[in-house]
Amino acid sequence: MAEFFLELFSEEIPARMQARAADDLVRLVGEALAPLGFADARGFAGPRRIALVATVNDAVPQTRITERGPRASAPEQALAGFLRKHGATKDMLTQEGDFWVLDRVVPGVAAAGLIASAIPGLIRRFPWPKSMRWGGTSTLTWVRPLRRICCLLDGAIVPFDMRQGDDDGHGLASANLSEGHRFLSPGAFVVTSAAQWQSELRARHVLVDAAERRETVASAIALLAAGRQCQVVDDPGLLDEVAGLVEWPVALLGRIDPSFMDLPAEVMQVSMRVNQRYFALRHADGTAAPYFAFAANIAARDGGAAIVAGNERVLRARFADARHFWDLDRTTRLEYRVVGLEGVTFHAKLGTQGARVRRLESLAAAIAPMVGADAALATRAALLVKADLTTGMVGEFPELQGVMGSYYASHDGEDVQVAGAVRDHYLPKGAGDDVPTAPVAIVVALADKLDQLAGFFAIGEKPTGSGDPFALRRAGLGVIRIIRENGLRLRLGAIIAAAGLADPTDLLDFLAERLRVQLRTEGARHDVLAAVLGLGLDDDFTRLLARTDAVAALLGTEDGANLLAAAKRAANILRIEEKKDGPHDGDVDPALLDHEAERNLAAALDIAAPEVARAIAREDFAGAMARLATLRPPLDAFFADVIVNDPRDEIRRNRLRLLAKLRAAMNKAADFARIDA
């Protein structure tokens, strides 16, 4: 095996594109070099380069190919087409029976030859989200001007260039050169291997591994923060981005002008992150600290003092803008901004945000009694939740929707529950977010998401396998998490009807599927949920999950596992026999029970079946499962000692009715036939 190394060196690559580009490079090169046994690939991405190292065989070996062609009696056109397809001539054919046969040797290909022929085209069609042309007349595009191509096979240059017909490909050709840091170590150096490339770049102030750059930034800014008895506000996305902006990260700490420290902490954090890629700091009690951290791309001779001073000046200007919005927005009460929502479109077919607010008020009033919330506060919060969309601060920083509305509601003297609901009604936005827990916030969050879902389902904009442009899956998962984590007892069908969707079935099915996906993600028995849903959709998801958990708990016992196997056996027998002369769901005739095992099973069912029904009616699902478990011994004995398909027809039919009675009793809990064995 030989080491294959490829580096594509360019001007600065946008941070958001780097990781995907490294993955694409490994994938595309892997496909192109698959005949060489491409393996052990590792991709690299950074501000000015994407690269990979892998192992390949020295050559594609010679192979012998036998292809059967057309019949010997076929028209000449058919034979000519076969020869043309395979690049062969007629003297290369032999006749075997009624057919022409092409038997040829395909010569081997050296690794360097295959690489040289594959890589130029791969570079030209590389799938950057956005590409550009630069200088000259070449049609070659890249995310930013491509400057060097380093391509080595066991340290030797694989020669090729980027010319294509009359297109000079910007004069680019493969070589064994790379470059270090633009400012700290400018100039080219010779590459001899992937390991030497990494170590040489480190010596030239470039960390080529993105994970290492990320960890370097994280640990360095955490150390600076600790020196001020502070903590860095967790921001994984910002860490990823900064790791894609710097080749040689040097952490620095700046001070925030005290005159801006009365701005909301969220405003300062978002302004620093969005505009400047700064990290916010906080005290141990969670309050904002008067510092910010950032990563420079150079190790300055003055220890970074000038860089810090410049960034402090920039931040003062940014915060001055934020101060303007903060002060101006508070001159108008939030409730007076609601009228402005009539000019904000929610969706062309669903009207304005103003119309949506009216729907939210109505829906909040319907939900409030179900969760024990104050209806007046819930409807007040619903009126105000979207009003901050008309503020200058949210216009500048859309990420602060809800957050700013909460601040402005508090400033206006609104009830603390109303302000909290305005802040939390978008939650949960993602898997890592908490869900609202205060009753008024729960009401408004559910109203917001269910109105969104009902509205888009009503106009036929449902998620598809290929897309979910209105984030309805996220909204559905949010509804489920709010219900589950708060243990809410809601009749979702009635709420969806109140949201204006005449037939809630499709939306309920959608939510049930989101629940099943969530259980599967958690590693739970989602097949048990499918079995419970097989009896009909229960729109009280808390009750639905309680029943699912009880069935899963039963199946986790020896009795439950054996009961499931027997139930499946009974269901299979019934399915087959009912196709012949069913159904077999009439009353069991005690006089025809001529075997002790079937009499015992019938007696056990007479006791268990009504007890199971009563337990389920009072939502004692664990009790219902305990009663079903008592059926295991007589059911085992029945299948061990009794032949269901007795030659006496009346006995056979009676035993099938007994199994149907068993199926009916078990189906009060779940459709056990749908559970994976």
Burial code (b: 16+ CB inside 10 Å, e: under 16) for 130-149 equals: eeeeeeeebebbbbbebbbb
At the topology level of CATH, where does 557-674 sit?
A: Isoleucyl-tRNA Synthetase; Domain 1 (1.10.730)
Q: Report which of 165, 160, 152, 167 is spatially closest to residue 7, judged by C-alpha positions.
A: 152
CB-based contacts of 637, cutoff 8 Å, min separation 6: 597, 600, 601
Strand, coil or helix: 102: strand
Q: Which secondary structure element, helix H or strand E, spans residue 221, and what is its range?
A: helix 210-227
Residue-wise pLDDT for 295-316, tens only, equals 999 999 999 999 999 999 999 9
Q: Report which of 413, 410, 418, 414 is spatially closest to residue 443, judged by C-alpha positions.
A: 418
pLDDT of 582 reads: 82
Q: Could you say which DSSP state residue 460 is in? A: T
In contact, 140 and 171? CB cutoff 8 Å: no
CB-based contacts of 633, cutoff 8 Å, min separation 6: none
CB-based contacts of 620, cutoff 8 Å, min separation 6: none
Residue-wise pLDDT for 428-448, tens only, equals 998 889 999 999 999 999 999
pLDDT of 442 reads: 98
CA–CA distance, 126 with 373 (Å, rounded to integer)? 56
pLDDT of 206 reads: 98
CA dihedral (18, 24, 29, 31) in degrees, to 10, reads 170
**379 — phi, psi (to 5°)?**
-70, -35
pLDDT of 87 reads: 80
CA–CA distance, 321 with 562 (Å, rounded to integer)? 69
**Residue 81 scores a pLDDT above 80:** yes
What are the boundaries of each domain within the chain? 2-58+111-203, 63-106, 210-328, 335-502, 557-674
Strand, coil or helix: 384: helix
Strand, coil or helix: 270: helix
Q: Report which of 44, 42, 65 is spatially closest to residue 55, judged by C-alpha positions.
A: 42
Interval 506-512 mean pLDDT:
95
**Residue 105 scores a pLDDT above 80:** no
Interval 10-25 mean pLDDT:
97
Amino acid letter for position 316: R
Q: In angstroms, how far apart are the furthest CA atoms of the chain?
A: 102
Q: At what angle do helices 541-555 and 472-486 cross, to 10 degrees?
A: 70
CB atoms inside a 10 Å sphere around CB 155:
14
pLDDT of 62 reads: 77
Q: Is 557-674 the same fold as 335-502?
A: no
Q: Could you say which DSSP state residue 274 is in? A: I
Q: Which secondary structure element, helix H or strand E, spans residue 530, and what is its range?
A: helix 526-533
Q: At what angle do helices 416-424 and 375-384 cross, to 10 degrees?
A: 50
pLDDT of 65 reads: 79
**Residue 527 scores a pLDDT above 80:** yes
% of the chain surpassing 70 pLDDT = 100
Residue 588: both structure tokens together = 């069991």
**Residue 215 scores a pLDDT above 80:** yes
Q: What angle do CA 196, 197, 198 make, to 5 degrees?
A: 90
Residue-wise pLDDT for 322-377, tens only, equals 999 999 999 999 999 999 999 999 999 999 999 999 999 999 999 999 999 999 99
Interval 596-623 mean pLDDT:
94
Strand, coil or helix: 208: coil
At the topology level of CATH, where does 335-502 sit?
A: Hypothetical protein af1432 (1.10.3210)
pLDDT of 44 reads: 98
- Distances from the Cα of 324 to the Cα of 207, 262, 320, 390, 403, angstroms: 41, 13, 6, 15, 17
Interval 33-60 mean pLDDT:
96
Residue-wise pLDDT for 114-166, tens only, equals 999 999 999 999 999 999 999 888 999 999 999 999 999 999 999 999 999 99
Per DSSP, what are the bridge partners of residue 534? none
- Mean pLDDT over all residues of the chain? 94
CA–CA distance, 391 with 381 (Å, rounded to integer)? 17
CA–CA distance, 351 with 663 (Å, rounded to integer)? 50
Q: Could you say which DSSP state residue 167 is in? A: B
Strand, coil or helix: 16: helix
pLDDT band with cut points at 50, 70 and 90 for residue 677: low
CA–CA distance, 380 with 365 (Å, rounded to integer)? 10
Instruction: Lowest mean pLDDT of 44-58, 431-445, 577-591, 599-613, name the range.
Output: 577-591
Pairing mode of beta strands 174-175, 146-153? parallel
Residue 518: both structure tokens together = 């969530």
